Every structure is written in structure tokens, then in C-alpha cells.
Amino acid sequence: MNETNILSLKNRLMQLGFEPSVETMLRCNICFLSHAFDLLFNKQVGKDNFQFSVHIEKGEGDLYELRYYTATMRKNVVVPTDLESLSDAMQLVDWSSLLNGKVVPWQMDNASILTAFEILGKLQNAGIASDVLKYKYWLGTPLESMILHLADLKNEWEITERFYFFEEDLIITFDDAIRFLSSRWMVKQIVARKKMLVKKTVNEGSRGSSANGKLLSKNPRKLTKRIIDKP
């Protein structure tokens, strides 16, 4: 292992926002002689979750270099009122243990398994509406494949951006990315509200035009009738 390369990477990763323990992550990945690998970092800010994935590749002279990182902001999911009780029940289930129990002997009491069984039945009965709960509790797990409209939910609750590394002295930290994504989210909400307002105005205008059209269509008939009836 190239100690100078590892320590250089460690320092840059710490500038981004990683803890000193990132050195162990680096050494374990480099140990397998990987051409490229990703390091993950999570940060909770208020109710929002931010995930960062730093891509590292082997460059010239077999030295590893930081290429880019992907930042994702995941907003706190607002659960519909009629699904709140089911959401509370899902939160209490250890879904990871339940998955492990499918393939290896695992200590899990029958009551917990029965509870999960009942919850899954309710999710099935809820249909498409249950996807928001699956997204809230199963995202990033093998159960993610059971979320039917995952792409739509990610578009609704997430924002993603990629940041590249160009110069040694210029680095966009994770905190910088958090501020950028938070600003993008605010803009997204403003645009969405404007679209809803325009749609509402158009719909109201259409109803008004339709009503006026009906009035105009009646007038000629009444006028014609008066002319015919006139002696």
C-alpha cells in the first residue's frame, strides 16, 4: 500500500466531512486491489437525511484519486392520516432480522413474525397507497424491490446532485452540498406551487368560459322563438 496516497486521500475526505476513521475504510477497499470503489457517508440535519457517495478510482501511477461524489437529500416523509397507525406499527418491526431469518437461523420470536405478517397483509390491502410507507421504512434495503412506484416517490421526496473534484485546493464540502440541495428543494417547492396556481386559474377560467358559452347559446334560440311567434 502507498502510505502517502492513503494519507493524502484521508486528509481530503476529512475536509469533505468524514471522520478520521475513514482511513480504515480506505485501507480495507485498497486491500482488495479494486480499480474503483465508493465510500458512503450519512448525515442527519433536522428531519432530513443526507447521503453522500464518494467515488474513488485508480489513476496514473496506480495512485487512487477522488473523482466525484453524489449527494442525495431525502426529505422526511409525510404519511397520510389514514395510514398513521400502520406507519407506527411498521416502525416497531425489525425488518432486517426478518430478512435474515429467511436464509439463516436467526433468533426472532414468533410474536414479532406474526406482527410483521399482519402488517404485510394490511400493506397489500392498502394497494398503491402503501408505497409511501414502504419507501419510508424499506428504502436502501433488499425490500426496496417491493416498492412499485419507487421512481415517482424518489422524485417527490429526494433531490440528487453530483459534485466533481477538479483542483486540490478547491473542494466542495458536504456542508456546502447540504446548503445547495436545501436551496434547490426550496426552489422546487416554489415552482410546484406556481404550477398549481396556474392550473387552478386555468380550470376556473375554463369553467367560466363554459358557463358563458351556455348563456350565449341560449340567447339566439330565445331570440329566434320570439321572432317566429311574433304576428
Q: What is the mean pLDDT of each run of 10 residues along the chain (231 residues)?
A: 94 96 96 94 95 95 95 93 92 87 78 91 90 92 89 94 86 96 93 84 68 53 48 50
Structure confidence at residue 97 (pLDDT): 84
List the one residue out of 49, 52, 61 whose CA is nearest residue 16.
52
What domain range is 135 assigned to? 79-155
Whole-prediction pTM: 0.76
**143 three-class SS:** helix
Structure confidence at residue 208 (pLDDT): 61
110 lies in a domain?
Answer: yes
49 lies in a domain?
Answer: no
HSE-up of residue 77 (Cα within 13 Å, Cβ side): 21
Q: Which residues have a Cβ under 8 Å from the Cβ of 125 and sit 6 or more positions away?
A: none
Q: What type of residue is 15?
A: Q
d(CA 30, CA 224): 91
Structure confidence at residue 227 (pLDDT): 45
Please state the domain count of the chain. 1
List the grid coordinates of 119.
Answer: 402488517
86 lies in a domain?
Answer: yes
Instruction: Report how far apart, in Å, the C-alpha atoms of 120 and of each of 32, 116, 127, 157, 206 are.
Output: 40, 6, 11, 23, 44
Structure confidence at residue 213 (pLDDT): 57
d(CA 40, CA 25): 10
Beta bridge partners of 52: 41, 71
Q: How many other CB atoms are there within 10 angstroms of residue 137's CB atom?
A: 15
174 lies in a domain?
Answer: no
Structure confidence at residue 228 (pLDDT): 47
151 lies in a domain?
Answer: yes
143 lies in a domain?
Answer: yes
Angle at 191 between CA 190 and CA 192, to 5 degrees: 90
**25 three-class SS:** helix
127 lies in a domain?
Answer: yes
21 lies in a domain?
Answer: no
